[in-house]
């Protein structure tokens, strides 16, 4: 069997922990892509208003960064594997709670969002740290490539499969089915985590010091400003576009098709962007990708049809790789050359996440205020035009980033996180 595996992956020495981490990551990807998009629709069909969905997502993005801080501290003080296990357990609890609440889920939207946010926080912090520790220079390319394949597979197959299942079943039976599948996958992931070798931790968690580092480092401050700007778009677009697709088509299968088109174009363009966007062209690519993302908004604001939405899905599927591949690379190069990056990489990740989610929370709060004060249907297009500028502004923060890499090995260590974040972009 080992010889057969080598014939597929090549001469790569892989260990048990690496395989287990890939398995857990794959189970997570398939489960989330299968169900996550449809949780918003599930709540919408029960409540029929944007406020319920907005407060659900607000709870996710408030709890996620606070959990990241706690998880970062535990990752240094307790054990990374325990933190990962907590994350997967909370994600399992989320789907279990959705299934228990059933048709009353919308009444507990904030509770559901809080559970999901805690799960995300524990899971991604631990997964990031374990990726650093389990992969070696000679196994990193294999891990990145195979994990990217799992993520892309989940992104293309998950939503269309879920949409098909829901459309073929009556009432909420389809939703119960896909949420049950996701719960099962996460339970399997919990079992897999039991076989990971325990990894003791050491060192002080200096989150406040790295938060304050933005005063000493212009580059770090620019990265954090760009992350906040990124979150401004993501907070609202994450749920509004999915609901629009559903409202226009009244079909979960159509929403699955939308995600399939988006993921298929992203899959191809991420490969091309990785191959052809060179370091010297990073900032230019960020500007082009951000411009395409922003101006594509007006396509769906002025023309509301499923055909136009599919065209929009294809356009953003092309645009995201153009901006994200150079943007994440540049951001992690800044981290890799920052003060005590090797010892404080967990803190840098946590602070970066804090600013990203700060932007998301600001966006959703603005959405809630605007839709409360003004007519919802008339105000949303204007709101999208405002918050949609977030990715376009990234260029204006990152264009002045200048540095000379001091430690290429440390920058290399950031690559698994870059790959993960680039591929698992659920924002629309």
Reference 248, options 425, 34, 41, 58; nearest CA is: 41
As a whole number, mean pLDDT of residues 363-376 equals: 94
Question: What percent of the chain lies above the pLDDT cut of 70?
Answer: 87
As a whole number, mean pLDDT of residues 49-62 equals: 95
193 with 293: CB under 8 angstroms?
no
Tokens 């191959």, residue? 275
Q: Residue 43 pLDDT > 90, yes or no?
A: yes
The three-state DSSP-derived secondary structure of the chain is CHHHHHHHHCCCCCCHHHHHHHHHHHHHHHHHHHHHHHHHHHHHHHHCCHHHHHHHHHHHHHHHHHHHHHHHHHHHHCEHHHHHHHHHHHHHHHHHHHHHHHHHHHHHHHHHHHHHHHHHHHHHHHHHHHHHHHCCHHHHHHHHHHHHHHHHHHHHHHHHHHHHHHHHCCCCHHHHHHHHHHHHHHHHHHHHHCCCCCCECCCCCCHHHHHHHHHCCHHHHHHHHHHHHHHHHHHHHHHHHHHHHHHHHCCHHHHHHHHHHHHHHHHHHHHHHHHHCCHHHHHHHHHHHHHHHHHHHHHHHHCCCHHHHHHHHHHHHHHHHHHHHHHHHHHHHHHHCCCCCCCCHHHHHHHHHHHHHHHHHHHHHHHHHHHHHCCHHHHHHHHHHHHCCHHHHHHHHHCCCCCCCCCHHHHHHCHHHHHHHHHCCCCC
397 with 225: CB under 8 angstroms?
yes
Of residues 300 and 4, more confidently modeled: 300
As a whole number, mean pLDDT of residues 386-395 equals: 96
**pLDDT tens, 77-93?**
877 888 989 999 999 99
Of residues 1 and 351, more confidently modeled: 351
Q: Among 137-151, 200-214, 256-270, 314-328, which is the least confidently predicted range?
A: 137-151
Q: Residue 140 pLDDT > 80, yes or no?
A: no
Q: What's the CATH fold of domain 14-196+207-423?
A: Growth Hormone; Chain: A; (1.20.1250)
Q: Residue 15 pLDDT > 80, yes or no?
A: no
pLDDT level of residue 18 (50, 70, 90 thresholds): confident
Given this model, what pLDDT does residue 163 score?
A: 93
The pTM of this model reads 0.87
pLDDT level of residue 414 (50, 70, 90 thresholds): very low
**pLDDT tens, 348-366?**
989 999 999 999 999 999 9
Any idea where the domains of the chain sit in the sequence?
14-196+207-423
As a whole number, mean pLDDT of residues 200-212 equals: 83
Of residues 408 and 164, more confidently modeled: 164
Report the chain's mean pLDDT, rounded to a whole number: 86
Q: Residue 22 pLDDT > 80, yes or no?
A: yes
As a whole number, mean pLDDT of residues 320-330 equals: 89
Q: Among 151-165, 194-208, 215-229, 312-326, which is the least confidently predicted range?
A: 194-208
Q: How far apart are CA 57 and CA 426, in angstroms?
A: 13
As a whole number, mean pLDDT of residues 306-331 equals: 92
Q: Among 169-183, 197-211, 291-305, which is the least confidently predicted range?
A: 197-211
**pLDDT tens, 257-295?**
999 999 899 888 888 887 888 888 999 999 999 999 999
Given this model, what pLDDT does residue 325 score?
A: 86
Of residues 424 and 43, more confidently modeled: 43
Q: Residue 420 pLDDT > 70, yes or no?
A: no
């Amino acid at each position: 069997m080992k010889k057969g595996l080598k014939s597929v992956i090549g001469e790569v020495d892989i260990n048990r922990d690496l395989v287990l981490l890939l398995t857990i990551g794959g189970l997570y990807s398939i489960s989330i892509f299968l169900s996550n998009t449809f949780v918003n629709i599930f709540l919408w069909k029960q409540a029929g208003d944007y406020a319920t969905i907005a407060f659900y997502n607000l709870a996710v993005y408030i709890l996620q960064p606070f959990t990241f801080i706690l998880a970062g501290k535990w990752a240094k003080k307790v054990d990374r594997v325990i933190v990962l296990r907590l994350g997967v357990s909370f994600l399992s609890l989320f789907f279990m709670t959705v299934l228990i609440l059933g048709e009353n889920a919308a009444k507990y939207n904030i509770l559901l969002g809080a559970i999901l946010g805690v799960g995300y926080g524990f899971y991604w912090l631990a997964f990031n740290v374990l990726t650093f520790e389990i992969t070696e220079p000679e196994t990193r390319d294999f891990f990145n490539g195979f994990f990217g394949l799992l993520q892309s597979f989940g992104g293309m197959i998950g939503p269309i499969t879920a949409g098909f299942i829901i459309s073929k079943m009556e009432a909420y039976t389809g939703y119960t089915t896909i949420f049950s599948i996701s719960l099962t996958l996460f339970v399997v992931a919990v079992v897999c985590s039991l076989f990971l070798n325990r990894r003791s931790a050491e060192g002080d968690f200096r989150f406040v010091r790295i938060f304050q580092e933005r005063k000493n480092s212009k580059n770090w401050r620019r990265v954090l400003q760009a992350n906040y700007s990124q979150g401004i778009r993501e907070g609202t677009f994450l749920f509004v576009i999915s609901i629009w697709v559903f409202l226009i088509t009244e079909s979960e299968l159509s929403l699955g098709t939308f995600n399939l088109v988006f993921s298929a174009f992203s899959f191809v363009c991420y490969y091309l962007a990785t191959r052809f966007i060179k370091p010297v062209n990073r900032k230019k690519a960020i500007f082009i990708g951000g411009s395409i993302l922003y101006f594509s908004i007006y396509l769906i604001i002025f023309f509301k049809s499923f055909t136009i939405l599919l065209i929009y899905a294809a356009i953003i599927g092309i645009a995201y790789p153009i901006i994200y591949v150079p943007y994440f690379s540049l951001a992690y190069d800044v981290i890799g050359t920052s003060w005590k990056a090797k010892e404080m990489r967990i803190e840098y990740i946590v602070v970066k996440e804090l600013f990203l989610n700060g932007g998301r929370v600001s966006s959703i709060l603005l959405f809630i205020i605007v839709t409360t004060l003004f007519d919802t249907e008339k105000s949303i297009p204007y709101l999208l035009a405002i918050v949609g500028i977030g990715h376009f502004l990234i260029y204006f923060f990152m264009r002045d980033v200048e540095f000379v890499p001091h430690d290429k090995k440390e920058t290399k260590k950031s690559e698994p996180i870059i790959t993960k974040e680039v591929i698992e972009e659920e924002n629309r």
